[in-house]
């Protein structure tokens, strides 16, 4: 039972997947968005390939915890993708994950050009890993 983590942007979707035990997140790829049908098809392929049972979609709240336009777009995406793929989706607070991913890549001495190519995948890993840690720490499987 694997979980797919998604960092949804206007131009890309960063994708990560959990291991079968739900302990760790690994980056898969960055989907370059073109249109809904192609984006959906690629996500469907990944869900089938990894036997995904849940989606975790990054929910970019404002720093004060309010919901802005970007979070509303992510919520609408999560609802639509969940219906299309018939897989439950959970929104997960992703504040500062892109900045954290950027810092990690800089500290690993990854060039600016290479960082641009993987930053969304890294953000998806952080979103999913934070979700997994929160659920393993609480001992709660009800949202999985």
Specify the long-range contacts of residues 36-39, CB closer than 8 Å, at least 24 apart.
Answer: 39/13
Let me know if residue 78 belongs to a domain: yes
Q: Give the domain range for residue 103.
A: 2-138
pLDDT tens string, the chain, 144 residues long: the values are 899 999 999 999 999 999 999 999 999 999 999 999 999 999 999 999 999 999 999 998 888 888 889 899 999 999 999 999 999 999 998 876 777 777 777 777 777 777 677 778 888 999 999 999 988 855 554 444
Residues 6+ apart with CB under 8 A from 57: 6, 8, 74, 77, 78, 81, 89, 90, 91, 92
- How many domains, the chain? 1
Task: Determine the Cα–Cα distance for residues 3 and 19; give it in Å rounded to an integer.
Answer: 8
CATH code of 120's domain? 3.30.420.140
Q: Is residue 144 part of a domain?
A: no
pTM over 0.95: no
Residue 87 domain-assigned? yes
109 occurs within a structural domain = yes
Query: Is residue 143 situated within a structural domain?
Result: no
Q: Which residue has the tokens 């980056």?
A: 27
């Amino acid at each position: 039972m694997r979980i797919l983590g998604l960092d949804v942007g206007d131009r890309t979707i960063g994708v990560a997947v959990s291991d079968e035990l739900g302990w760790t997140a690994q980056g898969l790829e960055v989907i370059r968005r073109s249109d809904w049908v192609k984006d959906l098809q690629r996500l469907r392929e990944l869900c089938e390939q990894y036997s995904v049972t849940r989606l975790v979609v990054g929910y970019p709240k404002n720093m004060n915890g309010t919901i802005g336009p970007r979070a509303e777009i992510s919520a609408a995406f999560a609802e639509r993708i969940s219906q299309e793929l018939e897989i439950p989706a959970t929104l997960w607070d992703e504040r500062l994950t892109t900045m954290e991913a950027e810092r990690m890549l800089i500290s690993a001495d990854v060039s600016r050009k290479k960082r641009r190519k993987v930053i969304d995948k890294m953000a998806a890993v952080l979103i999913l890993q934070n979700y997994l840690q929160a659920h393993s720490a609480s001992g709660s499987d009800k949202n999985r």
